[in-house]
Amino acid sequence: MKVPFHVVQARRDRLADLLGQHRYLPVKELCRRLGVSEATARRDLAALVGEKKIKRTHGGALSEFNDRFPSFRDRQGRGGRAKAKIARATLAYMEPGGTYFMDSGTTICAMAEAFRDHPITPVTIVTSNLPVGEMLAAIPDVQVFMVAGQLLHLQSTLLGEMAQRSLEFWKFDTAFLSAEAMNPAGIWNSQAAIVDQQRVVLERSARTVFCIDGSKLNREAPHFLVPWDRVDALVTDVSDERLATAGISLRKGQRAASGSRHAVPQALQEQEEAKASEADTEEMPIHIL
């Protein structure tokens, strides 16, 4: 039975609205939301591409995220001091022989820089973050694997359904993840594609470490990722008092001692002590939850 054109057009309008709202959705998710087959969804996507209403990617549709969201280079210059200090603290969660996932984002790139300066080897690193992959691949006894996804050149990352499938080959000792917001409900991110990929990583990781600076506190991004009871560790520059004021409550035993210097490798402790005497004297404790 032939479907009336006005019904088809209404469905395609709904599809365009979904992609405008979420920027990226896999084909399977589009089918679920619209109640159609993959063949129908792909025909609708092709029609919308022809009308120049969306951009088509393998396994889904990535709208204007790559063009509209601030680029990796733009974001890299923000909050450098906080990110660098968070990055150094995260190395406490790495040890020789481990297999680790490093997420997209500039805080994770700062972590890679800290690792490059104080490598912990041998290790295996899997990442969707192009600058991280290029940086760490040059270090002896570090094996680096990139996920096989859609390249977003401005964001310097790999995303999409294919990237999610490529992650299913791995099991991680620890995953280092970034986010765009944290509040009492939990952790949030900017794009559905990022959240979908992070959820695959969460399911395949023995431990998850979120690296989030204070600029993300008391914010809510478009897509919810996880509640706090799914978070193994949070490395942040936010003080205990600010977290409590924000209404973020965590399980007993999650929090390390305030300042968490004991959790940082010895070489980095010495580096931090040397920096303490520099002109910038504002204390910025790192809290590991």
Average pLDDT, rounded, for the chain: 81
Q: Are 67 and 100 in contact (CB under 8 A)?
A: no
CATH of the domain at 79: 3.40.50.1360
Instruction: Give the pLDDT band of residue 209 (cuts 50, 70, 90).
Output: very high
The H helix count followed by the E strand count for the chain is 12, 15
Q: What is the pLDDT of residues 166-178, one digit of tens each?
A: 999 999 999 999 9
CATH of the domain at 33: 1.10.10.10
Claim to verify: residue 59 and residue 98 sit in the same structural domain:
no
| Cα gap 9→129, rounded to integer Å | 38
Most confident by average pLDDT, 69-73, 144-148, 149-153, 158-162 = 144-148
Instruction: Give the pLDDT band of residue 116 (cuts 50, 70, 90).
Output: very high
Claim to verify: residue 34 and residue 164 sit in the same structural domain:
no
Claim to verify: residue 124 and residue 18 sit in the same structural domain:
no
Domain that holds residue 21: 5-63
Claim to verify: residue 11 and residue 94 sit in the same structural domain:
no
Say which range, 20-24, 212-216, 222-226, has the weakest mean pLDDT.
Answer: 20-24
Claim to verify: residue 58 and residue 87 sit in the same structural domain:
no
Claim to verify: residue 201 and residue 170 sit in the same structural domain:
yes
Claim to verify: residue 214 and residue 136 sit in the same structural domain:
yes
Mapping DSSP onto H, E and C, the string for 20-80 reads HHHCEEEHHHHHHHHCCCHHHHHHHHHHHHHCCCCCEECCEEECCHHHHCCCHHHHHCCCH
* Beta pairing class for 223-226 and 208-211: unpaired
Claim to verify: residue 55 and residue 76 sit in the same structural domain:
no
Angle between helix axes 80-90 and 106-117 (nearest 10 degrees) is 60
Domains contained in the chain, number: 2
Claim to verify: residue 14 and residue 130 sit in the same structural domain:
no
Q: What is the mean pLDDT of residues 39-61?
A: 77
| Cα gap 270→168, rounded to integer Å | 39
Q: What is the pLDDT of residues 62-115, one digit of tens each?
A: 444 444 554 445 554 555 688 888 999 999 999 999 999 999 988 999 999 999
**Phi and psi at residue 176, to the nearest 5°:** -105, 115
| Cα gap 172→94, rounded to integer Å | 11
Convert 143-166 to b/e letters by CB count within 10 Å (16 or more is b): ebbbbebbebeebbbbbbbbbbeb
Q: Are 136 and 144 in contact (CB under 8 A)?
A: yes
| Cα gap 222→241, rounded to integer Å | 26
Which residues, including other chains, have CB under 8 Å from residue 158's CB and lie 6 or more apart? Answer: 128, 130, 146, 147, 148, 149, 150, 151, 152
Claim to verify: residue 28 and residue 57 sit in the same structural domain:
yes
Claim to verify: residue 56 and residue 85 sit in the same structural domain:
no
Claim to verify: residue 277 and residue 258 sit in the same structural domain:
yes
